[in-house]
Structure 1
Amino acid sequence: MSILMGVDIGGTFTDLIGFDEQTGQLLHAKRPTTYFDLVQGIVDCTAASGLDMGEVSQIVHGSTIAINTVIEETGARTALITTRGTRDIYRIGRGNRPDAYDFFFHRPRPLVPRHLTFEVTGRMLANGDEWTPIDEGEIEALCETLSEQKVEAVAVCFLHSYANPAHEERVGKIIRLRLPDCYVSLSHEILRAYREYERTSTTVLNAYVGPKVSRYINELSSRMSGIGFAGHFSIMQSNGGVMAPEMAAKRPVNMMESGPVGGIIASAEIGRSLGYTNVIAFDMGGTTAKASLIRAGEVMMSEMYYIGGYASGYPVMIPVVDVVEVGTGGGSIAWIDEVGTLRVGPQSAGADPAPICYGKGGCEPTFTDAFVVLGRVGAQDFLGGDLKLDELSAIQGIQHKLADVLHIGVYQAAQAVIQIAINNMSLAVRQVSVEKGYDPREFALVASGGAGPLSALAVARELHIPTVIIPRFPAHFSAIGMLLTDEKHDFVRTYYGALEDVDFEQLVKVHDDMLEEVRAVVRSESMTTTTIVYQTCLDVRYVGQEFTLSVPVSDEQLRQARIQEIHDAFDNIHQQRFGHQAPHEPVEMVNIRLTAIGVRNKPKFQLERNEDCLPHVSYRKVFFEDAEKPIDCPVYERDSLPPNYVLAGPALVQEYASTTVLYQGDTCTVSQTGELVISVGGGQDA
């Protein structure tokens, strides 16, 4: 067996990429996402790709099932068990109000109603000492109540269980014994860090999606085996690594952002290979557009994010690749609000009913319809000709729903839809760069997703980004990125105190306990690599600050208590992140983190193409800046472009599942490995 396979389920399409390690051949397929049965979309892709599943040695899979379960509120009937006196922590949340002038602001609606939140006797202190023991009789009686309430999942989050999880362990054992069909999520098994509300929210989310994700993973494994797969199966995590299916079923909260993360990892790899260490990953699919920053070759990480946005979303306190997402994708619906303003998204036509031009029953004009109307997406060439688009219906839809209402021409309306969507996407790129102190002019933009190359040059113009890179197979890029990831596990323990007063001998013991825990997980996961790298970090902050910065420390610094070196490293990181430091101010540490990375051999994607071959080029009418007058635009077939070939805009570069739009002044060079490296012109508006 020598074929590696990556599968990504998106909001509109399911993508598959297969790499033959012996021949270097890449196989690919793209099929509509089957919402009624997500596994069926994967089966459809395997059939379309022609892969012999008996030859597949490894599958890496990313899916939006976990996060969609939260957003759509289709998770399990969940109960929450807390320490007596803390029943309302989850409901109260935080007292901050991000936008004081938003009259429509609302706090996140708890996924567990108050009548399914139960307090029990038993309390641990912050130092891990037991103050009040658990009443096991009370827990057994509570199990009867949970059964009567037809609870499907239980989240257990006790006060200070990060310091001593003994009570949670005992309660979890009783519930699993008395309610064997109930999904149980214990907070200390997810993370061992302070912040009661965020820890509770993360545990509840894990329980809420657990039953559905577990069933999905089991069904996927079973059906893949049924079509001949007998290799190693891995699930993509939000932290940029992969995990075994058993771990995914236990900690499904770790796969909330597993889909888009693959493309970000691949963007970092592509950037490094072409000599760009500062990269902005831009992924535009059918439902959303996502942006993430890669600086000095390293993907930016966050220790917490919010499902549904910071203002009113659900906090998830786990390491995650820092991604900003906006509701603008190829299927985003263009509509006119109550005051007559044209808007695009966040509603999406998705895979069903899909954009009007797909001919599947959609009747609302979308971003894709606008590109078809303007000729930038070929109606006869979409998906390599596998899907013929209905250009006339797209024109009629935009005419009736938008142009007639706004009293403008149909091509002007299509152009307006695209410009509004570009503005929305530019905000996402701005959030990961300008708003965090980084100048986008110092970065290259790596564009992926089926609609990414359509929009990338326009977004780059908005933010004066000088270089855009279109990778090979951009519409399958997240699936490709899944083949470039390592196996990864993150662990955290709260250990609070002034850095100068920390008992490093005790801290080393905590570190070594974590190391044993990590090694136990590595052994149980049967990681497919023998090269394991361990990275230790301390979460440090100046006294008086609320949030921390993660400071990498070596084993020697930890065991030899090199306090000043750690302090200096924190000052430098603070300077890089915020533009200032206070080296004479006291600092304190909050958490110790340990990450295990199983380094895998990455596939080497080679481009076999004759440099003397002639590009295949055709022409069609395309509207650019002038919405009244189309031009005869050259349309290049990407597969026919040899390395080092140079072309200038305006032009289209067309491939199986995507099209790159070059404007006047843009210059595109084909790299030796097949990427399109585009120098962005600044003379014309997109």
Structure 2
Amino acid sequence: MTIRVATDIGGTFTDLVYLENGVINAVKADTTPPNFEQGLLNAVAKSGVSYADIEFFAHGSTVVINTLTERKGVKTALLTTRGFRDVLEIARGNTPDIFNTYYRKPPPFVPRHLRLEICERLNYRGEVVTPLNLEALPALLDTLRGEGVEAIAICLLHAYCNPVHEQQLMAAVSELWPQVAVIASHQVSRALREYERTNTTVLSAYVMPATRDYLDNLSKHLTDKGLQSAPFIMKSNGGISPVNAAKQDPISLVESGPVGGILGAQAYGQLIGESQLLALDIGGTTAKCSLIHDGKVDISNDYVIEKTAISAGYPIMTPVVDIVEIGNGGGSLAWIDAAGSLRVGPQSAGSTPGPVAYGRGGVAPTTTDANLYTGRINPDDFAGGEITPDVVGVERAFAKLGEQVGVSSKLLAHGVLQIANANMVNALKLISVNRGHDPRDFALMAFGGGGALHATALAAELGIPKVIIPPFAGVFSAWGMLMLDSRRDYIQTHLQLLDDEGLPGLTGAFSGLQATAEAQFADDGMSREKLRFEWHVDARYIGQEHTVKVALDELQLSSILERFHAQHEQAYTFRLELPIEVVNLHLVAFGEVPKSPMAPIGVSTSTTAEVALSGRRWVEFEPEQPIKTPLYQRSALLSGMRIDGPAIIEEATTTTVVRPADRLEVDPYGGLHIHINVQEVSA
């Protein structure tokens, strides 16, 4: 017997999906910070899966992003070219709001006294101007030892086009101080932009010890339990990586957890013939969304964390699936601000104490509590029947908060849902309208524990005609990992004009990157026959600063140019008759990994879904207007069945809300397609 397993550690729950004898099963367990691996082990124990029978184990983790946002990394130093120690301090003049007088540059992760200079210099072509001088290095390292430094980032000027000095410096540091964690910028990014490259290297060094410790502990626990093969780790670029490779490039795991669901949405969309999707993942702590256009997920090289109205945040030059994330989920706390207004999130109750309904000491009501109190969630099967909800405590919590704003407890609960939905609508607009896409041209695929609860209301607000709730929606990010290949991205600055004379140079440069990829995959034991490649370029009009990414499906100059013009126009609303310049090459290398395809479900001989009807419950879709609503068990639904709203579809890991006048159909794989009331959308 062989079993394939994928796990996703979220802020509130740890999800596990496993494929056994062609049947997919799923469980949830509480996340256990700071020992996150314990929640994973609890989930495996809950599933009853034998470690000895597992042939494939994939894992998504929030360890990197948590280490950054909670400032729990190690004391880090920076070694850089003489004269450039203040690159982190100077940063950029990018202000999220130019009229906000409270704007402050984000403080560097490395204070100035730990940013030390090395005598060396390359020019922009990568030619040596000043040879590397290591005479002062031993004294510099002694200083850092005395400061208690545990990690060193190395970022030298123009190392993206010639890493020779970085390689020599890194070797010398490792020889003189083998205990310290050290990483150089050429290992992280081979693209220009000194500030962004330096910051990325620093953040990678900052999280490296914690990431290595976590992955080592995880691997040891799994091996001790009997796992025979090393686990794969979910990366931010939408691929999976062997654990040893992940430890060498920790910053590539910055969004390890959320992207599994986005790629799962892409895979399920391909299965059912839906290529235009807005993917929405609502978990216990956050809501994440991404756009899938023509069946493809956008990858961004300009990821930023902690960007707010008064801070430009911290740029990270690593390929990340283009995601917008907000602090709104099932555990988001409702509160009253200084102006007396009701707010929801970004603070979360997490799994401990959790929502008030958990009965673990939570006192502030959450989005989950609001869904329970308005009848959307079944109190008799709360959390899969594992928790008896404290309904009285929930009512008391809403009544107490309602007194502060002068409304009833029920009106306050509806207000919480409306504000949470408004926050999520704004996030969906950021990933669609702000990217030049009309959300009405897409279907909304919602998943995560809370996605199906909110999706129809969000779609109606945005004019989206259809909502899709995929199978295993509550643990969909984990399922998505079973559908992915191993992936590596190679981005390298390569300045040249995009014209007929330049095409041979592009081909040669990509061939060099491809050879590097083949060698690295070979080190992981993956043969050339299992590899496939995609070529992209980041290009711009001559004289511009920013680029757009263009796929090179074929080396026909006319089609490449037209694709660039079209993508530029979509992003910036105009096109120009100017020469086009390539800035970066982007090679995507995939290593084929066996997948876990979803099998079709049974086909109904009738469109009626009466066989799945399990009862009725009073549900308030609108304030103080309860409707006796039919309840259906999703496990009993068959392909071809139809349900007219209102309705509630229940399963172990989530609940789907079908509003009055909406219509639901079941697809051949068990996905729920909810057609939104056209009159309400157009109103």
If the TM-score is normalised by the length of the shorter chain, which range does it land in? over 0.9
Task: Note the 1:632-647 alignment, pairs <5 A.
Answer: 632-647=628-643
- In 2, distance between residues paired with 1:117 and 1:216? 27
Alignment correspondent of 1:233: 231
Check the 8 A contact 2:288/2:323 in 1, yes or no.
yes
Task: Note the 1:367-406 alignment, pairs <5 A.
Answer: 367-400=367-400, 402-406=401-405
- In 2, distance between residues paired with 1:503 and 1:671? 48
Q: What residue identity is the alignment partner of 1:384?
A: G
SS in 2 for 1:86: coil
SS in 1 for 2:340: coil
Q: 25, 28, 49: which is aligned to 1:27?
A: 25
- In 2, distance between residues paired with 1:34 and 1:177? 38
Identity of aligned residues (%): 40
Confirm whether residue 219 of structure 1 aligns to residue 217 of structure 2: yes
- In 1, distance between residues paired with 2:149 and 2:674? 55
Confirm whether residue 104 of structure 1 aligns to residue 98 of structure 2: no
- In 1, distance between residues paired with 2:514 and 2:440? 41
Give the Å deviation of 1:503.
Answer: 5.8
Check the 8 A contact 2:433/2:439 in 1, yes or no.
yes
Q: What residue identity is the alignment partner of 2:392?
A: L
Alignment correspondent of 1:312: 312
Give the Å deviation of 1:570.
Answer: 2.1
Residues 545-570 of structure 1: CA distance to partner in whole angstroms, max 9, x if unpaired? 1111222236x73xxxx655543442
SS in 2 for 1:122: strand
SS in 2 for 1:137: coil
- In 1, distance between residues paired with 2:568 and 2:661? 40
Alignment correspondent of 1:574: 568
Check the 8 A contact 1:665/1:683 in 2, yes or no.
no
Alignment correspondent of 1:590: 583
Alignment correspondent of 1:486: 485
Q: 262, 286, 289: which is aligned to 2:287?
A: 289
Alignment correspondent of 1:349: 349
Deviates more, 1:526-535 or 1:476-485: 526-535
Confirm whether residue 181 of structure 1 aligns to residue 174 of structure 2: no
Deviates more, 1:388-397 or 1:152-161: 388-397
Residues 32-82 of structure 1: CA distance to partner in whole angstroms, max 9, x if unpaired? 100031000000000001111111101111111101111111111100111
Check the 8 A contact 2:94/2:312 in 1, yes or no.
no
Check the 8 A contact 1:336/1:342 in 2, yes or no.
yes
Alignment correspondent of 2:675: 679
Confirm whether residue 605 of structure 1 aligns to residue 598 of structure 2: yes
Alignment correspondent of 2:447: 448
- Going from structure 1 to structure 2, the CA distance change for 1:502 and 1:348 (only over 3 Å counts) comes to farther
- Going from structure 1 to structure 2, the CA distance change for 1:171 and 1:299 (only over 3 Å counts) comes to same
Check the 8 A contact 2:601/2:670 in 1, yes or no.
no
Deviates more, 1:194-203 or 1:137-146: 137-146
- Going from structure 1 to structure 2, the CA distance change for 1:131 and 1:563 (only over 3 Å counts) comes to farther
- Going from structure 1 to structure 2, the CA distance change for 1:208 and 1:382 (only over 3 Å counts) comes to same
- In 1, distance between residues paired with 2:272 and 2:518? 36
Task: Note the 1:274-673 alignment, pairs <5 A.
Answer: 274-309=272-307, 311-400=311-400, 402-500=401-499, 507-527=506-526, 530-553=529-552, 557=555, 566-582=560-576, 584-609=577-602, 611=604, 614-625=611-622, 627-673=623-669
Give the Å deviation of 1:502.
Answer: 6.8
- Going from structure 1 to structure 2, the CA distance change for 1:515 and 1:535 (only over 3 Å counts) comes to same
Check the 8 A contact 1:280/1:445 in 2, yes or no.
yes
TM-score normalised by L of structure 2 = 0.96
Deviates more, 1:545-554 or 1:256-265: 545-554
Give the Å deviation of 1:578.
Answer: 3.8
Task: Note the 1:37-186 alignment, pairs <5 A.
Answer: 37-186=35-184
SS in 2 for 1:207: helix
- In 2, distance between residues paired with 1:315 and 1:160? 18
Unpaired runs of 5+ residues, structure 1, are none
Give the Å deviation of 1:518.
Answer: 1.2
Check the 8 A contact 1:622/1:633 in 2, yes or no.
yes
Give the Å deviation of 1:599.
Answer: 2.9
Check the 8 A contact 2:639/2:668 in 1, yes or no.
yes
Residues 383-424 of structure 1: CA distance to partner in whole angstroms, max 9, x if unpaired? 321122111111101111x21111111101000000010000
Alignment correspondent of 2:2: 2
Give the Å deviation of 1:608.
Answer: 4.3
Residues 645-682 of structure 1: CA distance to partner in whole angstroms, max 9, x if unpaired? 11111111111011111111111111121011110115
Deviates more, 1:368-377 or 1:303-312: 303-312
Check the 8 A contact 2:64/2:250 in 1, yes or no.
yes
Cα-Cα RMSD: 1.9
Check the 8 A contact 2:280/2:289 in 1, yes or no.
yes
SS in 1 for 2:411: helix
Give the Å deviation of 1:352.
Answer: 1.6
- In 1, distance between residues paired with 2:528 and 2:66? 32
SS in 2 for 1:602: coil
- In 1, distance between residues paired with 2:402 and 2:570? 48
- Going from structure 1 to structure 2, the CA distance change for 1:528 and 1:26 (only over 3 Å counts) comes to farther
- Going from structure 1 to structure 2, the CA distance change for 1:543 and 1:235 (only over 3 Å counts) comes to same
Residues 584-639 of structure 1: CA distance to partner in whole angstroms, max 9, x if unpaired? 311211112211111334212124447368213211222121x2242222111111
SS in 2 for 1:192: coil
Check the 8 A contact 2:277/2:291 in 1, yes or no.
yes
Give the Å deviation of 1:575.
Answer: 3.6
Check the 8 A contact 1:214/1:249 in 2, yes or no.
yes
SS in 2 for 1:133: strand
Give the Å deviation of 1:98.
Answer: 2.2
Residues 345-379 of structure 1: CA distance to partner in whole angstroms, max 9, x if unpaired? 11111112211111111111111111111111112
Give the Å deviation of 1:151.
Answer: 0.7
- Going from structure 1 to structure 2, the CA distance change for 1:258 and 1:54 (only over 3 Å counts) comes to same
Task: Note the 1:250-289 alignment, pairs <5 A.
Answer: 250-289=248-287
- Going from structure 1 to structure 2, the CA distance change for 1:503 and 1:649 (only over 3 Å counts) comes to closer
Alignment correspondent of 1:12: 12
Residues 305-352 of structure 1: CA distance to partner in whole angstroms, max 9, x if unpaired? 101127431101121110011111000000011111001011111112
- In 2, distance between residues paired with 1:497 and 1:604? 43
- Report how many residues are paired: 676
Residues 196-250 of structure 1: CA distance to partner in whole angstroms, max 9, x if unpaired? 0000011111101110010000000010111111124111111101111111111
Check the 8 A contact 1:2/1:55 in 2, yes or no.
yes
- In 2, distance between residues paired with 1:529 and 1:43? 35
Q: What residue identity is the alignment partner of 1:89?
A: V
Residues 143-170 of structure 1: CA distance to partner in whole angstroms, max 9, x if unpaired? 2122111111110000000111111001
Check the 8 A contact 1:639/1:655 in 2, yes or no.
yes
Residues 472-526 of structure 1: CA distance to partner in whole angstroms, max 9, x if unpaired? 1111000000111111101122122333597666555543332222122111122
Confirm whether residue 200 of structure 1 aligns to residue 198 of structure 2: yes
Q: What residue identity is the alignment partner of 1:633?
A: T
Deviates more, 1:373-382 or 1:658-667: 373-382
Check the 8 A contact 1:382/1:657 in 2, yes or no.
no
SS in 1 for 2:32: coil
Check the 8 A contact 2:466/2:674 in 1, yes or no.
yes
- In 1, distance between residues paired with 2:516 and 2:39? 37
